[in-house]
Structure 1
Amino acid sequence: MIQPERSLGEQAIDKVVEIAISSQLDESESLSVNVETQPMQLAQGEVDSVTIDGEGLVLKQDLRVAQLQVKVNDISVNPLSAMFGKIELNGPAMGAARAVLTESDINRAFNSAYISQKLRELKVKRDGKTLTIDIQSVQCQLLSSGKIALDAQVLVRETDSQERIYFTAKPQIDAGGCAVSLQDVEYPENQEFSPDLTVALAAKASEVLDLRNFELEGMSLQIQQLNVEAGLLTLNALAKVVKFPT
C-alpha cells in the first residue's frame, strides 16, 4: 500500500527532534525520528505518536547501545510551537522503549572512563578488615543459557596483590525497574572466589547495566522485561517523556 505523503509540519518536527537528540550523542550509525499527526490535529495540539529509532548510539559517557527504539503515543503539545517545528509537551507522554546491548557494548562500558572511575578505591570487608580494591579489567559474556559471566582482575592495595574473580549469575530487574542486578551467583566447578570481591563486582555490574545511563534528555525508562541470549542483552521498558530534547 502506498504511504500517504507526510506533511511539512511532520517533517519539520522530525528534523528538529532528530537534530536535538543527535546533539546528546558522541556518534550514531543511524538515527531517525518519525512524527505521526495530521495538520488539523497539530493545529489543535494533538500528535498521534513520535517514534525514535537509532542504531550504534554512543552517549556522552562513551556508553554505546546497539539499538534504541522509543515510541510514545497520544501526545498533547503546544499547538503554536508545533506549527513552527517544535514539540512542547502539555504533560507527560507515555510509551514503550527497547534497548539492545551487545557483549561488546557492555565490555566497552566497563572500560569507559565514566565507569572505570567507579571501579577504583572500593571498600570491602574481609576477615574483619577493610580492604581497598581496584577492579582493573572486566570481561563480560552473555550466555545462551540466559546468564551473564564476569571475569575480572582485582588489585588489593593493602597487599599489592592481584586476585581474579570469575562467576556466572542470573540477571534480574531490580526493584525500581531502572537497573539489572545479578543474582544466584555460581562459580566454576571446584572453585570458589572471594565472596567479598564477588559482591563488589556484582554491585558495579548493576551500575553498568543501569538503564538511566542510556536515557535521553527529558526521558525516563523503567524496565519491564529482559532477555539474555548469546552475545545480546535486550531490555523492554516503559518510557515516560516529560520533554523532548531542545
Structure 2
Amino acid sequence: MSDQPKLEEQALSEALKLGLSSQLDEAENIGVRIETDLLKVVQGKVDFVVVEGQGLTIQENIRLESVELHTNQISINPLSALLGNIKLDQPVDTTARIVLTEADINQALNSDYVKSNLPPVELDVEGKRVTIALDFPLEMRLQSVGKIHFSGAISISEVGETRSVTFAAVACPRTDTQPILLETFCCAPGQGVSIPFMIVLLSKVQELVRQPYFQLEGVSLQIKTMQVEPGSLTVEAQIHVNQIPNL
C-alpha cells in the first residue's frame, strides 16, 4: 500500500496551508499533513491534522521559532477550507509543542499586543487599595537549564502617590511534577517594599500562574510543561479551539 497522500489529502492540505499562511504576518516554512478520504472531505471530516512551522510571526513583533500541532477528528466547512478560509464546525482539541528563542520572547514581552493585554492590577494591602502596573521594557533571560531570569520595574500607586520599583527574579518553570516555582525575588537597593505588600503580591502571582487555562479569541490554552535551555524555551500545551482565531 502506497505511503503517498491521496489526491484529496493533498488538495485539502494545500488549502489549509494557504489558509493558515494568509493569517500569519510571516512564515519561513509551514507544512500541513492530513489523513482523510474523498467521502469524509465532502462531509467536512478529517481523521487527523499535523501542522509544522518555523519562523512564524502571529502578531506584530510576536514570533515563534517553531510550532508543531497535532489534532484528531476535526470537522470543518469543506467549501471554505478548499478556498483557503478555515472554519471549524465543531471545537477541536490540539496538542502543541512551541519553541521560542530568548530574543523572540523579549520582543513579544515589549510588543504593543502584550502591553494592551497586561492592565494594571488592584491589590488590597491591609485594607488599603494599591494599584500596580508593569513598566516597560521588560527582560527575560534564559542563561541556564531550568532557570528563567526576569527583570523589570513596576509602578506602585497608593494614596495619591506613585513610585517605581526595579526588581529581578528567578523562576523554575512548570514540569510534569511541579508547578512554577519562584526561586528568588529582589528589589534594587533602596527600593524595597513592605512585607504585607509582598505577601499580597506573591499571592496574586500564584493565583495567576495556577489558572488552569488562558483564554485568547476562542482559544483555551493549558500549559503542561516548560523546558528551559540556554537561549530557548520549549512549551508543551493542550489547546481547545472553538474557532480559528484571526491572527
Pairing 1:135–2:137 present? no
State the percentage of identical aligned residues: 29
Contact 1:170 1:184 in 2 (8 A): yes
- Aligned residue for 1:183? 181
CA RMSD of aligned residues (A): 4.3
Contact 2:165 2:187 in 1 (8 A): no
Aligned AA (2:172) = K
CA deviation string 1:92-143 (max 9, x = no partner):
5545221112222221222111222344544345575434444222111224
CA separation in 2, counterparts of 1:19 and 1:155? Answer: 44
Aligned pairs (5 A) from 1:19-98: 19-39=18-38, 42=41, 47-60=46-59, 62-73=61-72, 75=73, 77=75, 81=78, 85=82, 92-98=91-97
Structure 2's unaligned 5+ residue stretches are none
Change (3 A) 1:206 1:141: farther
CA separation in 2, counterparts of 1:204 and 1:141? Answer: 24
Aligned pairs (5 A) from 1:93-242: 93-119=92-118, 121-124=120-123, 129-137=128-136, 138-156=138-156, 158-172=160-174, 182-187=180-185, 193-194=192-193, 195=198, 199=202, 202=205, 212-213=215-216, 220-241=220-241
Moved more, 3-12 or 52-61: 3-12
CA deviation string 1:43-72 (max 9, x = no partner):
676644211111222223643222111112
Aligned AA (1:19) = L
CA separation in 1, counterparts of 2:241 and 2:187? Answer: 47
CA separation in 2, counterparts of 1:90 and 1:129? Answer: 49
Change (3 A) 1:190 1:223: closer
Change (3 A) 1:232 1:85: same
CA separation in 2, counterparts of 1:245 and 1:139? Answer: 28
Structure 1's unaligned 5+ residue stretches are 174-179
CA separation in 2, counterparts of 1:193 and 1:166? Answer: 12
Aligned AA (1:18) = K
Contact 2:28 2:54 in 1 (8 A): yes
